Structure formats: C-alpha cells, structure tokens
Structure 1
C-alpha cells in the first residue's frame, strides 16, 4: 500500500528519517495548507516543541522538545509481519523474485487451500514456503512491522515459530502483539522491547499460555503496567523489564506465580524495602537489580535466616550505591543464595580487588559463584582464613568487652569461622593496613631441597611464576605451583595460571612449592 493510500489515525506509530514516533494530531495548521501530522517522537530531543505551535496547543507531547509536524507523505506507516518475514527470510533461494509476486503467489496458495501443492512454475515459491514453515527462531527487529496481516495468515506461513523478536517496530498496541501470538501455538520466547504499546482495557480477554520468556526493555512501563500486561501471559517463567519507569513494586501474590527469573535493572527504585515487596513471588530463583539506586541491604528482624526470597539462588546487585559491608553480611541471611554479581559499588573502592573478593566470600557462607567465578573449596578456605587473620586482632581485643556484639554484628560469620578453624592466635595475625604501602612481596620457591627467593609485584600472574620456576630450576616441563602460608601452615593451595598472585593474598615469606603432578 502506498503511503498516500494509508488511512492514518491517532496513535499510529510511524518512522521518518530513521526516527520513530506516535501520531498525536491529524489536521490543518493555521497559516499552512494541506493536512499535517503532529508527531510525538520517542527521542525527547528529536522535535522542536511540545505540541504548542505559534501559540496554539495542537497536541500534548511527552517531552518539551519531542513534538513536531510532518506531512503524511514523508512518513512510513509500517507493514505486516507477513511481509517482513518474506522480506527477511525469503531471499535465500530466489533473490530475483519481486516481493509483490511472492506475496501474490502465497495468497493464491491460501485461496485454493493447498499451501503445499506442487504446481508447474510454482516449485521455487513452494520450496521457499517450506523454509518459512520450518522457521523456529525469527528475528524481526526494526522491520517496520505495524500489523499482524490477514487472519490466520501467519499461522499458515510460519506456524512453528518458537522464538520471536519484535523489538523496535511500529506496533502501537498490545492487541497487535496478542493477534500475532494467537497464531503461534509453539511460541515460548517473545521480545517486544522498544515499542510503546497501548494496553487494552479488556486485557483479561487475551491469553498467551505458551510464552515462558517475555522481554520488555525501554517501553516506559510502570510495574503496575507490567503486572496488567502479564495477566495475558499466565505461564511466564522469565520476565525482563529493564530501563522502564519502575519505581513502586507493590505486588500481589496472585500474579506471576510461575516466575523464576526477573530482571528490573536500570530502573529508579532506590530502596531495599521496595525490592522486598517482590518476595511474594514464591518461585523466584534469579533477581537482577543492577543500577537501581540501591544504597543499603537490610532485612527486617534479627533472626539468622529470613524467609524473604526463600528460593532465590542468584542475585545481581552491580552498579549500585552500596557503601557498606553490612549489606553484604545481610545477604548471608538468605537461605539459598548461591550466586552473586557485585561490582561497581562504592564499598569496593575501600579494598583491593582481591581483598574485596575474599571479604564477600567470607561473609556469605552459602555462596558458590561470585562475579562469574566458581568458588572451589580451597578458595573459600583461603578467603575465610585470611579474613580471620585480618580481623583476628580486633576480635581478641573486644571478645570480652561490651562491644563484642557490635563486632559480631559487623562480622556476621566470625564465630562460625572460629568453630571451623579455631580461635585466632595473636602471633599468627596481621595488622589490617588501611593503605597499600608495599607493592612487592618476597616469596620462597622450593624444589627438591633447593630454595630461590624472589621479590615480585602483587599484580604478577601465576603464569609468569611458572616461567620463573622453569628458568630458576632449569626444568624441562611445565610445573604446577602450590602456595603455602609461611613455614608453619599445612594449608596447600593449587595456583591457577590465569590469576594474579594478589588473588591468593600472598605475604612476605610465603612458600611456592614446585610440583611435577
């Protein structure tokens, strides 16, 4: 359909010069001839005004500079999902066939109710349709889609689609999304991000039971909008809604009963108490709350373990404003937390990367993965042992004083660590330094009774230690290195070549044993 033939209406989504907007006004402008469209652009700075032109308010734009007027012939009003699929996936075997002919032939097959009938001269098109029929993962991002096409047309063309990306198109309403989904009985994954969609009042009339993953990024949705929309998706297990207008998280236990993964990153939420409103989602296993303005984590009550987020296994709280280790200690009160991503928070600037890693591991007893690193048993032992050495002197000073409880509240697992490793002995402890004054540490390399002492930077990789050992002891094989604390410790740690030695919190006098195994 040519642009001039389009019967446009308020609410239509359009594209012009690679920018997308919504039609907010159709009509005349004082002092100008012909019909104009008042457009509210998605880009807040794309327009010239807020709908007020020469002192007259023609429409209300979303932002002060997102409104402008455009002639209808200058804009694209979009196309059907059928046309988009044929354009995107129909060129593989027959680039020379014009799109109009492809569509005509497809419509003819429908009209005679013989979509797979082999006819002379139609073989190439039928082969192409067979390709369409087998499509399972379909990416239609930024394809100017605005409609579902004719009734049941999509179901006949590509009924086996399981994953569908409709992000950044010209769809104006969730009704269109539901009409598309109704034709895809195997659809389980749906991305409608970067579309500004009107939510129909009769949302209860729609049901998309097959979709388990729904992605709605950058759609200006509130949490209440999201809860309303998901009424049409009763079996969602994974919901990703970052970069929206979510501030309040009031949630009923009657919604999202099957939800296991929730991503609400990059929303202005701010308070942990608001996040805790999501604990009514009883099956939630993964929660992503990066960059939400979170300053502190603090559960209500004093019990060692809380029922809040009782099934949560993975938590992402990176890029927030957390400036205290108490918040990390609070996470130890979660019953099943096993994986944590915690980077780019102010508190991490108070310690070296290696020390921060060990502090987090020591404070959260159930943790199995930190920032993508699987915590092997020796890594946990090393972290907990170092933690006790760092804070052991302070413990010995306060354990029989009035400030004992304050210490234990701050160092939530210290008594547990004492039960595991024994009471700290003053002679084995170190004074916690507030700044890094020494950049070199002295290590003893030991091999078959030979000892070589080297002063090395804390940032050197274990891989370089291996090469130093090969050269120092003239080895014709690549050895394994084992780290031991000082002269008296029996704790042996196998070193991984890709890590810096600072990861293992090595200190002056530590031993590096050379092993052939």
Structure 2
C-alpha cells in the first residue's frame, strides 16, 4: 500500500486484491497431508493461507458489510475440514428472507466440520441459489439415523436438489417433507411460550410454508396410562342406604365401560354382602333424572354423570 500507516481489514484487503473489477475463475486449496497445506492458485491467491496459517479453530465467519457484492458470480465454495460449528447470515432479518451474500452460490461443501444444531442448517435456506450441498460427517448427523437427517435437511432447505451427492427428486422431496412435518408437528403444537416458539421457528423456518403446501399432518394422540383408564373404565358411586354396615352404605367402584348390569349386580352383591336370596335393583338417581337399570344392558346404555348416584333398591 502507498501509505504504510493506512490499515484495512483482512476482508477489505482480499476485496481490493481479488474482487475489484478483476475476473475470478477458480481458487483451490489442497491439503497435502495432516499439518501441511499446499496452495494451488490460478489467480495469485498465495497470500491467503499465509494469513490463515495460525487459525486452528474456525468457528464463525461473519461477512456482513464486507463489500463482496462484486463477487456475485461465485458459484462454488469448498469449506470442508474448517471446524465450522455455527452459521448465521446477519443481513437477513425475518425467518424466510434470503441473504444478499453469495447470490450465485449453487454448490457448497461443508463436510467434516463441527455443525451440531438445526438452526445453522436452516440458515442455509437463506442462500438464494444453493442447489448442491455436502453436509455429511458433521455432528448433527450423529444424533439420528440417515433417513431422518436427510429428510430434515431437505425440508429445511427448500432449493437443494442434491444432498450429500444424492439427487433430491420431486417425489423424494414431497415424501421427505411429509415425514419431516409428521416428526416435528407434535413438538410445534407444544410451543405455547413465545420464546420457545421463536427458538423453534428459527430451527424450522419453513414449517408454515410446508403446512400450507401439504396440510397439517394427522398426529396420533399418545395416551397416558391415566387417559386409557379414563377412556375404558368408569367410576360408579353406589348408595346402599339399607346396608347394616355403615361403611358400605356409600362406596365407589371402578368397572370397565363394557360391563353388563347383570355383572355389576354380581360384583355389588359380593362387595355389599347382600344375601344370595335377596333380590335388588339398581336405580340411577340425579336431581332431575332417575332410571332403573336393566340386567341385559351394558352400563354405557345409560347416561351416568359424575354427580349421579346408583342406588341399591332391595326387594
């Protein structure tokens, strides 16, 4: 530089050297063996590795306001083995907006890095022209099986047509997006807190778009043991005012909803210790409702509410 006291950032220096109205054709960095890198250069990029030789744990690249718009023809970027663990485009404000960086980038290699969160994967959806992505051998892939990972990546990045060298056909994408919605939709329904919902949408920015496209998935309701008991059993309040044992004059009994009245009477005869020779009837009793239960019917034949009593009427 003419003025030795004048300084500029590393990005500005690269811009001035390579992107200021100069044709850029190809840059290739080749690692010959562990610990040693050889730079093959077609446009005089030999200074780059010298500038980066002390960088051993690259975690975050921020190119905001870096004046790289003149490099808008860049379509291939190889960033494998760079120890990248986080991706963010700060110039994109809302969930579905695209970044103005790398507008022509269609081929991106991020294999063998340290990406371990779905938010970073979802950020790649902001690249306008991305079609081919290599993401294998990142920790995010270690959390689930290949089928799960593949479908979750293509569902988060809408333009990708090749993932980890596997073509993403229209049919494959449709099936993958259905699978993705089915796996995350129950979690989406649970996010009532605004902070939790915001964090979830940052990881899944296309979920509303996919719901509009495919419809809400049918989610099987997972019943707890309590729910199953409540659905298949009924608790009856039994009143036997003539029972000589005061402790048995009012009891509760839980029985299957499929129980017949005749079987219920058999159970109550034993519980209430009613003599085998004594007949009795069961009467459903409420404030404005009373009905005698017939032996041949199931108990579900009758409208039995929580405040109803079943009275034992001895003959």
- Taking structure 1 as the reference length, the TM-score comes to 0.33
Residues 65-464 of structure 1 correspond to what in structure 2 (within 5 A)? 235-243=23-31, 244=37, 268=56, 270-274=58-62, 277=66, 279-280=68-69, 281-300=71-90, 301-303=92-94, 304-398=97-191, 400-402=192-194, 403-427=196-220
Partners in 1 of 2:217 and 2:130 — Cα distance? 28
Give the conservation status (yes or no) of the 8 Å contact 2:12–2:67: no
Q: Deviations over 1:165-209 (max 9, x none)?
A: xxxxxxxxxxxxxxxxxxxxxxxxxxxxxxxxxxxx9xxxxxxxx
Partners in 2 of 1:363 and 1:425 — Cα distance? 20
Superposed displacement of residue 421, structure 1: 0.8
Superposed displacement of residue 318, structure 1: 0.6
Superposed displacement of residue 275, structure 1: 6.1
> Cα RMSD between the aligned structures?
3.8
Give the conservation status (yes or no) of the 8 Å contact 1:245–1:268: no
SS of match in other structure, 1:367? coil
Which residue number corresponds to residue 296 of structure 2? none
Superposed displacement of residue 235, structure 1: 3.9
Classify 1:389/1:347 alpha carbon distance in 2 versus 1 (closer, same or farther; 3 Å): same
Classify 1:308/1:229 alpha carbon distance in 2 versus 1 (closer, same or farther; 3 Å): closer
Partners in 2 of 1:355 and 1:305 — Cα distance? 25
Q: Tell me, which stretches of 5 or more residues in structure 1 are unaligned?
A: 1-200, 202-221, 247-255, 430-517
Classify 1:334/1:227 alpha carbon distance in 2 versus 1 (closer, same or farther; 3 Å): closer
Partners in 1 of 2:112 and 2:119 — Cα distance? 17
Partners in 2 of 1:290 and 1:329 — Cα distance? 18
Flag the structure with higher helix content: 2
Give the conservation status (yes or no) of the 8 Å contact 1:286–1:313: yes
Classify 1:363/1:426 alpha carbon distance in 2 versus 1 (closer, same or farther; 3 Å): same
Larger radius of gyration: 2
Superposed displacement of residue 268, structure 1: 4.3
Give the conservation status (yes or no) of the 8 Å contact 2:15–2:68: no
Partners in 2 of 1:228 and 1:335 — Cα distance? 25
Count of residue pairs brought into register by the alignment: 193
- Taking structure 2 as the reference length, the TM-score comes to 0.53
Superposed displacement of residue 225, structure 1: 10
